[in-house]
Chains A and B, each alone.
Chain A
Amino acid sequence: MLFAIIIGIWATRSMVQLDRLFINFLEHFLNPLTCMMRRVRNILIFCFFCSAAMLQAASEADSLLRELGCGNCHNGVVSSEVVKTKAPNLSFAGVKYRPAYLFSYLQNPVRVRHNIGVARMPDFAFDVRESLALTFFLSEQRKLPDRVSPGSKAGGAARTSSEIHKIITRELQCTKCHIMAGEGSNRATDLSTAGYRLRQDWLTLYLLNPAAFEGTDAGMPRFFFEDEENGASVHGIISDAEETAASIGEYLSAMGESKLRKLAAEFLTAKKNYANITAKMGERIFLSQNCLACHRLDGAEPWFNRNGPDLSLESQRVRPQWLRDYFSETHAVRPFGYFPGSGSRMPDFDLNEHEVEILTKHFLKGNRGIDQREPERLSPYAMKKAELLLRDKLSCLGCHRLDDVGGRIGPDLSRVSKRLNGPFIDMMIQHPRELVPESIMPEIAMQPKTASLMGNFLKQVHMETTPLGYLSLIDHRPFNPKARGNLYREYCSVCHGIDGSGNGYNARYMPAVPVSHSDATLMGQRADDTLYDGIHGGGVILGKHHFMPPWGETLSPHEIRSLVAQIRQLCRCEGPAWSR
């Protein structure tokens, strides 16, 4: 099989020819051999076809992954520069888009451009407030490309609608690529929608010099001006270019007027209902969702290089059916970010069945080695005991939900048996950071018997719970937990809050209020050693809730000491005099 795979890789672009060559090779050299050898031959031929099919699928999958830009958020997948050229540059979104449209689009992104292949804007499941905040933020982005002057606009020439229609459809032949009111070819955007999507001024600017916005490789022809060879300036192709462009802009805007009125009304209502929403919130959402993985926005610094799980182990990690279902319809796994606190979401790409199948096969390569046997069956008593331990003794539910109890930091455990492979569950319980180095899941020293019980429990637990949803990016302020190597931010703030006041986003799901590290009176009664011990050994050793996990097996003594120092900064206090 290995031999077949090597050959398959060597001849990636000549699959059919390779088939013939390889079969001939087998026929010539193996036919004279014994019956047993013939069986080997058949196996090899079978393996070859399998590998060839896999390679073909892999190739298609890689292409799809590139188009979708998956590797820009996930490690273990090829990263994509293509998607960055296809996703709109948002540096001038405030000049380009009508806010009411943005507000609507963010809530329900639909396919607008048909000239970008399978690339698409996925659905981040933004709600009204989140969309409002993002709209405010994007509307502030008004940095035009250097070669575009916002003042270079003219009034429309005095032309009738039919004249403009004629210019669009006959003179400029826009409908060769665009569709407009049912007329033309839908290979780019629907011009009937341009009016309510795009600002009229921007339409004019864009028509005059699309290359300035999209680069010289963009598919939109230049009808009115063209660049000098050195690109330093443009010169006109027709005499009344600016007036004509403005007329088209007016014409298209008029086409979208009624829809725009409706969108504007909804936008206005939202603004009135949520007067506290700000552009600053939108900026945090923009960064939390790693929008810069696909879009450009001048001056913006991304929070993350990657903000999703490494997918190179996906075949080891997840169960095939779950993955297939997840691709078909994504849902919240980590309700407030892969890096807890970031609020990042896995958006829904609205994959079609073929795409789902391609991606599923791609990620399950190598899955055949996984032990998919049923776990050791636990008695109902053992299941109850495990659940009791999780609820009453262990710290797992500080981060994970089980049925109706537990945090929103990690994935829901109620149905984890349907999501993860058994061996992965075992490994994750015992050595989470060896498996997922970037995870904050602490290593908990458990007796082997307990670890085994937990593993078996999770491999077969299935509770009918309401699926987790993503937490609101407005109610909870997303932040970059990895920023500046700040350990408190990364490990503690999800419960104790960034400012230590005990109000982290996970706090509301805890049965006990997390301690306020900014309370000088309270913290002044605790010795540094006590704080150290509490971090090291978990809440239970300080008589606090057992959902506060022990970090002693995860963080170094130096790191724990630095956390104690950070707590002292938050409370601006020292331990009691006797302890100093």
Chain B
Amino acid sequence: MRTVNISYQCRYISKTVFPVQLLMIASLLDVGSSQSIEDATEVRFEDFLGSEVCKECHVEQYSLWRNSTHGQAGNEPEEAFIIGRFDGEPRHFADGFVTPTRREDGRFQFIVERSGFPRQVVKVDGVVGKGHMIGGGTQSYFSLFQDGTMRLLPFDYHKSAETWFCETNNRQGWVPISEKLSMSELSEWPPNRVLGAEPTLINCQQCHGSQILTEFNEAERRFKTMYKSLSINCESCHGPGRRHVELVRAGETEQSGDIGMTPLSTLGMDESLDVCFQCHALKDVIKPGYLPGMDLEEYYSLKLPIFGENPYHPDGRVRAFAYQQNHLFSDCTISGSMTCVDCHNPHSQGYRNIRGEMLKGKFDDRQCTGCHSGKEGNLEAHTFHSSDSPGSRCTACHMPFFQHKATGDILPFARSDHTISIPRPLFDESLGLDNACSQCHRELTERQLQDRMFEWYGELKPHRPLVSGLLSVKETDRRERAAELILGQSDDPPVVAFTGLSYFILHYLKADMKMVEPEVVARLKVLCDSDDLDVRALALAALDLSLGTQAPVRKFLSVAAASLGPDKQKVRDRWALVLAYLAQAARTRGDLANAATIYQKSLNVKPNDPATLVHLGLTYAEMGNSQRAISYYQKSLDADPLNWIAWVNLGNAYRSADNPEFSEGAYARSIEINPYYAPGQFNMGNVFYGKSDYAQARHHYERAVELDPSIALAHFYLARAYLKLRLGEEALASVERAVILDPDHQNSRMMRQDLRLILGK
């Protein structure tokens, strides 16, 4: 009998899945007040009070915020907020249909009827988005599930296209619902992506609402999803307000300069950017539990998403899907000091210039000429367009709207290019980008446009050396040459240095190499001194991966690790994570020996990491070494005894080692901790099936498919249990689902054929 081995979901999912869908949340929580005013060191969920409290004093700011895109970013499912058409009309798929409708009590819901599956009614518990974005605005819907998670529903609404659409799992991107689309192509059906940065589940992190925390509650044996609001509230940027409010109400701010908050207007560039990058950035989770006001870099890495399937082109423009974080590639940030709030009013999300003067709108030139004042006086001399033409707008050429390719080409999802690029028609074409000039001048070819650019401007400003290196590095197989091209110096922009280093590791380094050229090692060592945590960690991981077993490098790494100072844990977390990514990649391509080696390196950097120990155990399990797998699962459980995933995998390993008694105990423990974990139920079904207790097996299988209807094997095994219980109709229905989910599964197909004959279907 087969088992289902489960690994942690979220940590590695960002390497392959683009988080194009918005996330959802569940329940509102009350506000605690046990923390004393003096205690300002710890940020807790209870310390967030919500925007209505802020309104009491900050009326003007509240008023601006209330009508802003942040203030209107999400909501409870109320009629005034909903833009999707819940009109009761079915929208047909190839294999079913969904009907957005309202209950008699007015609540919004989707009725899903998929061929072969029971009719499902999914209520809407949360709404995110209101179609604000002019490049393509959408609205997404979330529902609270029985395991306590708030899950994204696959049916989104596109405002300008006025259509329901779904994200697909086969890289078509966003596709309107039609009879050409199968429900098996939907990436979110059954709903699987949860609100909150819960590492054991696919998740959308914490951005589509305020102070989202999804945590497993041991006592209730289920998750608890907490948030303050589905809009982006004041405290999302300003941090927890409780202490501030208490100090003000107690009149203590009159006595001291402490208001219990940091004034954001005094932040430096990096700190200011981090406020926005809490959400407007692709991030990898370092550890869960982040709340505004905490050290963002302790919980998230802002550059690790580049490592692997880079969402950006070498010059930072969006290749697949991203947020506005790529303005880190812009000259305005690298050579200037541009922050988000230099152009965006953080309260109204209106537009302003660097001096804070409000502007008419997002295409107002003064966003740019506030700094680039040299162009202001004689605009036409720079634009070669009439000053009142759209072609003379700064944003038309330097911040064109590019469709994010991960969303496909059918529905608009274009976002303004925050790398503030220079139009280079031929180069842009080579990247597959629709260049800025073409957006107006469709009649001209890229060659013609390029010639015109040359005629007007002559030689264009060259890319940065590292960007040029990244564009040309594919032409060389020589590691030393590649290092010259793409390994930066300590003064290179961190995001570019990280991009180059990422590419270098993935293409020119392997585990435990016999030799790496001294010049290359020297360059890597330079990057180990970077002020940027991500770059430093990546460089350390590169040396550790390739030459970590050789004495000189080992010594260098030891010294480097000992001198990380206050950033020690943050660097080590990243360093270990990079190695774990590399190990996972090796495991995915079947290189299990290397995977085990690299996992072990990761554990050397961050010993006893429960997730990595599970992965190393899985690697040994796949190598057929159950005993070693068991030992690593045990170590994982020593570090985290409530790790229900490790318990299931331990059960599987005991089963492989012919120790059914221990196996059953492990599964039972998993279910005892988290009864909503489908693989635990499934494997427990297998135990009872093996013991010929088909009723109990049926119970667990039914629970497994209820919790996760996408496990084809669970449907098949459930069919077998039904047969043992002489429930032919139920068995046929179940095996039909197994075949729908996995058409290539021969045993399912054979069973279905036999049952159809027997039952005359």
Task: Using CB atoms and an 8 Å cutoff, list the residues of chain A in contact with chain B.
Answer: 379-381, 383-385, 388-389, 392-393, 445-447, 450, 528-530, 532-533, 536-537, 540-543, 552, 557, 576-579
Q: Which residues of B contact A557 (CB under 8 A)?
A: 377
Q: Which residues of A contact B355 (CB under 8 A)?
A: 445-447
Which of B457-465, B547-555, B565-573 lines the interface with chain A?
Answer: B457-465
Tell me which of A379, A532, A533, A577 contacts B253 (CB under 8 A): A379
Q: How far is the CA of A445 from the CA of B375 in the complex (A)?
A: 19
Inter-subunit contact A542/B335 (CB<8 Å): yes
Tell me which of A379, A528, A542, A578 contacts B336 (CB under 8 A): A542
Inter-subunit contact A532/B337 (CB<8 Å): no
Interface residue? B447 (CB, 8 A): no
Inter-subunit contact A541/B337 (CB<8 Å): yes
Q: Which residues of A contact B263 (CB under 8 A)?
A: 385, 388
Q: Total A-B pairs in contact (CB under 8 Å)?
A: 74
Q: Nearest A residue to B267 by beta-carbon distance?
A: A392
Inter-subunit contact B266/A578 (CB<8 Å): no
Q: Which residues of B contact A530 (CB under 8 A)?
A: 335
CB distance from B118 to the nearest CB of A (A): 60
Extra 6 A-B pairs, beta carbons < 8 Å, given A389-B266, A392-B266, A557-B377: A379-B254, A381-B253, A381-B256, A381-B259, A385-B266, A532-B374
Q: How far is the CA of A379 from the CA of B57 in the complex (A)?
A: 15
Q: Which residues of B contact A537 (CB under 8 A)?
A: 354, 370-371, 373
29 A-B contacts, Cβ less than 8 Å apart? A379-B253, A379-B254, A379-B257, A380-B255, A380-B258, A381-B253, A381-B258, A381-B259, A384-B257, A385-B265, A389-B265, A392-B266, A447-B355, A450-B356, A529-B374, A532-B373, A533-B371, A533-B372, A536-B373, A536-B374, A537-B371, A542-B335, A542-B336, A543-B335, A543-B336, A578-B458, A578-B461, A578-B462, A579-B461
Which of B268, B370, B374 is the most central at the interface, judged by chain A CB atoms within 10 Å of its CB?
Answer: B374
Q: How far is the CA of A180 from the CA of B146 in the complex (A)?
A: 112
CB distance from A538 to the nearest CB of B (A): 9
Interface residue? B334 (CB, 8 A): yes
Q: Nearest B residue to A444 by beta-carbon distance?
A: B355
Inter-subunit contact B374/A541 (CB<8 Å): no
Inter-subunit contact B373/A388 (CB<8 Å): no
Q: Which residues of A contact B370 (CB under 8 A)?
A: 537
CB distance from B354 to the nearest CB of A (A): 7
Q: How far is the CA of A443 from the CA of B17 in the complex (A)?
A: 51
Interface size class of B (residues with CB under 8 A): 20 to 34
Q: Given A384-B257, A541-B337, A543-B337, are A577 and B373 also a contact pair (CB < 8 Å)?
A: no
Q: How far is the CA of A474 from the CA of B570 in the complex (A)?
A: 51
Q: How far is the CA of A220 from the CA of B371 in the complex (A)?
A: 68
CB distance from B245 to the nearest CB of A (A): 14
Inter-subunit contact A541/B258 (CB<8 Å): no
Inter-subunit contact B459/A533 (CB<8 Å): no
Tell me which of B253, B266, B336, B460 contacts A388 (CB under 8 A): B266
CB distance from B247 to the nearest CB of A (A): 9
Q: Nearest A residue to B460 by beta-carbon distance?
A: A578
The main secondary structure of chain B at its interface with chain A is loop
Interface residues of B in 514-547 (CB under 8 A from A): none
Q: How far is the CA of A379 from the CA of B462 in the complex (A)?
A: 51
Q: Which residues of B contact A450 (CB under 8 A)?
A: 356
Q: Mark B327-359, 1 if CB is under 8 A from A, else 0.
A: 000000011110000000000000000111100
Q: How far is the CA of A552 from the CA of B366 in the complex (A)?
A: 14
Inter-subunit contact B377/A380 (CB<8 Å): no
Q: How far is the CA of A537 from the CA of B375 in the complex (A)?
A: 13
CB distance from A167 to the nearest CB of B (A): 77
Q: How far is the CA of A450 from the CA of B357 in the complex (A)?
A: 12
Q: Given A383-B257, A445-B355, are A393 and B265 also a contact pair (CB < 8 Å)?
A: yes
CB distance from A520 to the nearest CB of B (A): 19
Q: Which residues of B contact A552 (CB under 8 A)?
A: 373
Inter-subunit contact A392/B371 (CB<8 Å): no
Q: Nearest B residue to A540 by beta-carbon distance?
A: B337
CB distance from A426 to the nearest CB of B (A): 19
CB distance from B493 to the nearest CB of A (A): 10
Q: Which residues of A contact B461 (CB under 8 A)?
A: 576, 578-579
Q: Nearest A residue to B458 by beta-carbon distance?
A: A578
Q: How far is the CA of A446 from the CA of B335 in the complex (A)?
A: 23
Q: How far is the CA of A541 from the CA of B268 in the complex (A)?
A: 13
Q: Which residues of B contact A380 (CB under 8 A)?
A: 253-258
Q: How far is the CA of A376 from the CA of B335 in the complex (A)?
A: 40
Interface residues of B in 55-111 (CB under 8 A from A): none
Q: How far is the CA of A383 from the CA of B256 in the complex (A)?
A: 10
Q: Which residues of B contact A543 (CB under 8 A)?
A: 334-337
Q: Nearest A residue to B353 by beta-carbon distance?
A: A445
CB distance from A120 to the nearest CB of B (A): 48
Tell me which of B254, B356, B357, B371 contacts A541 (CB under 8 A): B371
Which of A388, A528, A576, A577 is the most central at the interface, judged by chain B CB atoms within 10 Å of its CB?
Answer: A388
Q: How far is the CA of A455 from the CA of B356 in the complex (A)?
A: 18
Q: How far is the CA of A533 from the CA of B336 in the complex (A)?
A: 11
Inter-subunit contact A392/B337 (CB<8 Å): no
Q: How far is the CA of A447 from the CA of B374 in the complex (A)?
A: 22
CB distance from B368 to the nearest CB of A (A): 10
Q: Mark B168-193, 1 if CB is under 8 A from A, else 0.
A: 00000000000000000000000000
Q: Mark B121-152, 1 if CB is under 8 A from A, else 0.
A: 00000000000000000000000000000000
Q: Which residues of A contact B462 (CB under 8 A)?
A: 578
CB distance from A336 to the nearest CB of B (A): 29
Q: Which residues of A contact B259 (CB under 8 A)?
A: 381
Q: Which residues of B contact A579 (CB under 8 A)?
A: 461
Inter-subunit contact A392/B268 (CB<8 Å): yes
Q: How far is the CA of A261 from the CA of B259 in the complex (A)?
A: 67
Q: How far is the CA of A577 from the CA of B459 in the complex (A)?
A: 8
Q: Which residues of B contact A381 (CB under 8 A)?
A: 253, 256-259
Inter-subunit contact B459/A393 (CB<8 Å): no
CB distance from A493 to the nearest CB of B (A): 22
Q: Nearest B residue to A445 by beta-carbon distance?
A: B355
Q: How far is the CA of A529 from the CA of B381 in the complex (A)?
A: 13
CB distance from A381 to the nearest CB of B (A): 4
Q: How far is the CA of A450 from the CA of B355 in the complex (A)?
A: 11
User: Which 9 A-B pairs give the minimum distances between C-beta atoms?
Assistant: A380-B257, A384-B257, A532-B374, A536-B373, A388-B266, A541-B371, A529-B374, A578-B459, A381-B259
Q: Which residues of A contact B354 (CB under 8 A)?
A: 537, 541
Q: How far is the CA of A123 from the CA of B374 in the complex (A)?
A: 48
Interface residues of B in 237-261 (CB under 8 A from A): 253-259
Inter-subunit contact A529/B375 (CB<8 Å): yes
Q: How far is the CA of A392 from the CA of B270 in the complex (A)?
A: 13
Q: How far is the CA of A379 from the CA of B260 in the complex (A)?
A: 14
Q: How far is the CA of A275 from the CA of B372 in the complex (A)?
A: 50
CB distance from A548 to the nearest CB of B (A): 12
CB distance from B222 to the nearest CB of A (A): 43
CB distance from A541 to the nearest CB of B (A): 4
Q: Nearest B residue to A541 by beta-carbon distance?
A: B371
Q: Given A380-B253, A543-B337, are A533 and B373 also a contact pair (CB < 8 Å)?
A: yes
Q: Nearest B residue to A383 by beta-carbon distance?
A: B257
Q: How far is the CA of A445 from the CA of B460 in the complex (A)?
A: 33
CB distance from B422 to the nearest CB of A (A): 10
Q: How far is the CA of A384 from the CA of B370 in the complex (A)?
A: 28
CB distance from B369 to the nearest CB of A (A): 9
Inter-subunit contact A393/B266 (CB<8 Å): yes
Q: How far is the CA of A383 from the CA of B254 in the complex (A)?
A: 11
Q: How far is the CA of A579 from the CA of B461 in the complex (A)?
A: 7
CB distance from A559 to the nearest CB of B (A): 13
Q: Which residues of B contact A576 (CB under 8 A)?
A: 461
Q: Which residues of A contact B357 (CB under 8 A)?
A: 445, 447
Q: How far is the CA of A392 from the CA of B267 in the complex (A)?
A: 8
Q: How far is the CA of A543 from the CA of B375 in the complex (A)?
A: 19
CB distance from B459 to the nearest CB of A (A): 4
CB distance from A50 to the nearest CB of B (A): 43
Q: How far is the CA of A379 from the CA of B460 in the complex (A)?
A: 52
Q: Which residues of B contact A388 (CB under 8 A)?
A: 263, 266
Q: How far is the CA of A146 from the CA of B354 in the complex (A)?
A: 66
Q: How far is the CA of A154 from the CA of B256 in the complex (A)?
A: 81
